Structure 1
Amino acid sequence: MNLLIKSATITDPNSPFDQQVVDILIKNGTITEIGTDIKTDVTVYDATGKQLSPGFFDLNCNIGELGLETKEDLQTGTAAAAAGGFTGIALMPNTQPPVHSKAEVEYLLNRAKGNLVDVYPLGTLSHKREGKDLAEMYDMYLSGAKAFTDGDHPVQDAGLMERALLYTKGFEATVFSYPEDTAIAGKAKVNEGEMSTLLGMKGIPSLAEELMIARDLYLAEYTDSKIHFSTISTTRSVELIREAKKKGLKVSCDVAAHHLILTDDALAGFDSLYKVKPPLRTHADVNALIAGLKDGTIDAIVSQHTPHEIEFKDVEFEVAEYGIIGFQTAFALALKAGLSIDLIVQKLAINPRVILDIEVPVIAAGQKANLVVFDKDAEWEYNKENNLSKSYNSPYLGQNLTGQVLLTCNNNHLYKSNK
């Protein structure tokens, strides 16, 4: 792939060209020259007024393969990811079978070879995600698993979590915790508060998340291990992690893009497209999450891309599955939350790779072209024609969004928006 990107504004804190307007010449997937007024005979893309940064990386997404390919497979999932600006994704092990041995890890890595999007399977923490016995984490680590988690199954057994933290410490891997105390959450489907009372539905209190974060912070401190909290959603959760970082604990966390915009007010019409886990919270929680991103407490933004067939979402709210597709809307939602471009690049491109100890791409001559070009002011309609996922469970389908990914480049492959 040979391409000259003209007059792009670089947003990359690690690049010597950060905040400069330059031309980037790419030959055979490598940045060969950066400067002004570069002359060449290759294809030219005019990026005047557009930003260019390292490709985004998603720490929390679901693709149905293995076993749930009717929801999403690697081909459609990575296509949607590329359209959203993601050049790397960490796959949750919420599959059938779960990614609980080196066989599943190696299968996914082999299937994803040669793709524009780099795929990093996350291995399970417990065998079959049952929360009873540790999985073969070291075998999976040697095969390419970058971190370990039971995905959307919170680990209820404190002893199991302690053993997992101690075990992974030996090879410096990271444990991802989905923080929810199921004994507190019960079978409730929405946030506990005014809206749950208005709807006549039992609610999940913030306490269910915060208790688990407090427990796992104690365990991480006791074992001196690394821990990452997935998709935090409450004010107190942000405060707990902020306090832990001040104490010097090896803790990081992320937030789902939709939790920066939506509140439980969206549930007034019982629309199952807004049914997510953790549940949509309150305006105060949204403000705390945004403040946590700005002060560095929250390290990353994730899509929490969770595809479902129509029969699992177009049903009564109580029985609908949790989750929305989010690859193609994550960037626009981060902008809608009022975050600056510099901060978005930090939270979507830089920090996620640091958390997984993956090399961070740099916009510099001699480096592999792993980058995204986007227009923060472009208005576009997200619809069924440009949705590249196999599933359609997004409340944003049919809506106009501001902030569009125009080019995604990695591994000598190129995605280009039709606009």
Structure 2
Amino acid sequence: MKILFKNATLINEKSPFHNQKKDVLVVDGLLTQIEDQIKVEKATVIDKKDLHLSSGWFDPCVSFGEPGYEERETLANGLLTAAKSGFTHIVLNPDTHPALDSLTDVSHLLQQSQGLTTLLHISASLSEASKGENLAPLFEMYKAGAIAFGDFNITLKNPNLLRIALDYVQSFDGLIQAYPLDSNLSNGGQMHEGEVSTNLGLKAIPHIAETSTLARDIQLLEYTQGRMHIPYISTAESVELIRNAKKKGLQISCGVAVAHLHATEEDLVDFDANFKITPPLRSSKDQRALREGLLDGTIDTVTSLHQPLNPELKDLEFVRAKEGSIGLEASFGILLNYFPLDKVILFLTRGKKAFKIKDSGFTLGETADFTLFSPKGSSTLEKSDLHSTSKNCLFLGSTIKGKVYGSLRSNALQLNN
């Protein structure tokens, strides 16, 4: 199979082809040629307006639903949505029922997803049934293909369990994910604690609900010298904690949700439940710190924090609605509102390193792994633009810059209509 990309601008700061317009030929899933002009017979030709190619994008914190919550999203449609949104790699959260806590669970999902454009990576549960009591069989799940371990959106109340996990996974260079949100300090809060929550009369979540747990987990990491990824941070104080941990040489990485770079607590004044997410949208001061942390490398990666929810859970009055928003479809276009193209592509790809996912870039002879897009133009995100089964999206009505044409991994090409 031959695929020829015509007049594509290549974006990869580490490549000698960066910002150059080239023809790119993929043969049988391998990147074969990059030239000013390529002529080849019997090839699928991709010639799009203002076509750009970059390394395939990566999202390290994605939820779907299957198994157990297929009404929210199936694995097949979730991965199709990711591919159409430009993501050739995603890490699936154990936000399922039952939780992904066994070799069989991991193997089954990986087998189901073979041959698709988007490669599925799995973050399995850290504890049995994600109850925080006993460690799940981490090494067995690692052997089955899990690349990280964490109890989704649950802070371990027992610090010794996290310590043991950080020690144990070092035998196979495993990665532990720690979610910084103390349930006692958040105590059923509906939004960030501040002037807006006071004015709205809503129970609030203070920043220390995040920072106190994060500080504890960093201390455990320093003690054990393991590897840890923090899926999301949302406060200025958390940025500083991560920055200091990295200065000490600790093996820590972290992400930030696109939503927290785009929206703030002010967006909740109309009680729109789509803006109710975990962690909560914070202040404009926190948002500035998050953007700065992303630019200076303190924050390693961005995530859509994609969390589909069926209407029975989301289309309720604000205080009863469940937290969560989808975001795969909007990520690229939202980020372009705030950062230059080179930085957006960097943020969407450099997180692979923390998860030890290979990024071949534009290396000849390697497996083709590209996102196809144009950075030009703008539109307003409508429900009709969403590929996800669930439509709970805080980005609806927002300006989206650029356009995603699709993605390619090996021979699996997925194009948008």
Q: What TM-score bracket applies, with the shorter chain setting the length?
A: over 0.9
In structure 1, the residue matched to 2:114 is 113
Question: Which amino acid in the other structure matches residue 21 of structure 1?
Answer: K
In structure 1, the residue matched to 2:166 is 165
C-alpha change, 1:77 and 1:28, in structure 2 (3 Å) is same
- Partner Cα distance (2:88, 2:401) in 1: 21
Q: Report deviation, 1:358.
A: 1.5
SS in 2 for 1:215: helix
SS in 1 for 2:226: coil
TM-score (norm 1): 0.96
Q: Does structure 1 residue 6 correspond to structure 2 residue 35? A: no
C-alpha change, 1:398 and 1:289, in structure 2 (3 Å) is closer
* Structure 1 residues 181-196: aligned runs within 5 Å: 181-196=182-197
SS in 2 for 1:170: helix
Question: Which amino acid in the other structure matches residue 8 of structure 2?
Answer: A
In structure 2, the residue matched to 1:353 is 352
In structure 2, the residue matched to 1:273 is 274
Q: Does structure 1 residue 397 correspond to structure 2 residue 396? A: yes
Question: Which amino acid in the other structure matches residue 375 of structure 2?
Answer: K
Q: Report deviation, 1:226.
A: 0.9
Contact 1:188 1:201 in 2 (8 A): yes
Contact 2:81 2:387 in 1 (8 A): yes
- Partner Cα distance (1:224, 1:123) in 2: 21
- Partner Cα distance (1:396, 1:294) in 2: 22
Q: Report deviation, 1:13.
A: 3.1
- Partner Cα distance (1:11, 1:253) in 2: 24
Question: Which amino acid in the other structure matches residue 36 of structure 1?
Answer: D
- Partner Cα distance (2:133, 2:385) in 1: 43
Give CA-to-partner distance per residue, 1:132-189, whole Å, 9 cap, x none: 1111111100110000010111112111111111111121111011101112111111
SS in 1 for 2:376: strand
In structure 1, the residue matched to 2:305 is 304
Question: Which amino acid in the other structure matches residue 122 of structure 2?
Answer: P
Alignment gaps of 5+ in structure 1: none
Contact 2:63 2:308 in 1 (8 A): yes
- Partner Cα distance (2:309, 2:360) in 1: 32
TM-score (norm 2): 0.97
SS in 1 for 2:146: coil
Give CA-to-partner distance per residue, 1:237-268, whole Å, 9 cap, x none: 00010011111111110001111010010100
In structure 2, the residue matched to 1:378 is 377
Q: Does structure 1 residue 40 correspond to structure 2 residue 47? A: no
Identity of aligned residues (%): 38
Question: Which amino acid in the other structure matches residue 97 of structure 2?
Answer: Q
Contact 1:123 1:145 in 2 (8 A): yes
In structure 2, the residue matched to 1:215 is 216
SS in 1 for 2:198: helix
Contact 1:82 1:415 in 2 (8 A): yes
In structure 2, the residue matched to 1:19 is 19
Q: Report deviation, 1:211.
A: 0.6
* Structure 1 residues 125-136: aligned runs within 5 Å: 125-136=126-137
Contact 2:85 2:406 in 1 (8 A): no
- Partner Cα distance (1:56, 1:38) in 2: 26
In structure 1, the residue matched to 2:329 is 328
SS in 1 for 2:173: coil
In structure 2, the residue matched to 1:77 is 78
Question: RMSD across aligned C-alpha pairs, in angstroms?
Answer: 1.4
SS in 2 for 1:161: helix
Question: Which amino acid in the other structure matches residue 253 of structure 2?
Answer: S
In structure 2, the residue matched to 1:150 is 151
- Partner Cα distance (1:309, 1:93) in 2: 18
Give CA-to-partner distance per residue, 1:14-70, whole Å, 9 cap, x none: 433122211101222222111002112323222463321011011000010111111
Question: Which amino acid in the other structure matches residue 120 of structure 1?
Answer: H
Number of residue equivalences: 416
- Partner Cα distance (2:299, 2:396) in 1: 28
- Partner Cα distance (2:344, 2:366) in 1: 22
Question: Which amino acid in the other structure matches residue 405 of structure 1?
Answer: V
Contact 1:6 1:48 in 2 (8 A): no
* Structure 1 residues 358-373: aligned runs within 5 Å: 358-373=357-372
- Partner Cα distance (2:260, 2:397) in 1: 20
Question: Which amino acid in the other structure matches residue 111 of structure 2?
Answer: N
Q: Report deviation, 1:11.
A: 1.2
- Partner Cα distance (2:85, 2:100) in 1: 25
Q: Report deviation, 1:381.
A: 4.1
Give CA-to-partner distance per residue, 1:378-410, whole Å, 9 cap, x none: 323433333211110013335541122113111
Q: Does structure 1 residue 413 correspond to structure 2 residue 394? A: no
- Partner Cα distance (1:244, 1:333) in 2: 29
- Partner Cα distance (1:40, 1:381) in 2: 39
- Partner Cα distance (1:147, 1:416) in 2: 30
- Partner Cα distance (1:205, 1:381) in 2: 33
In structure 1, the residue matched to 2:343 is 343
Question: Which amino acid in the other structure matches residue 170 of structure 1?
Answer: S
Question: Which amino acid in the other structure matches residue 22 of structure 1?
Answer: K
Say which is worse superposed, 360-369 or 230-239, in terms of deviation.
Answer: 360-369
- Partner Cα distance (1:402, 1:343) in 2: 14
Q: Report deviation, 1:334.
A: 1.4
Q: Report deviation, 1:413.
A: 1.4
Contact 1:299 1:352 in 2 (8 A): yes
In structure 1, the residue matched to 2:91 is 90
Q: Report deviation, 1:361.
A: 2.5
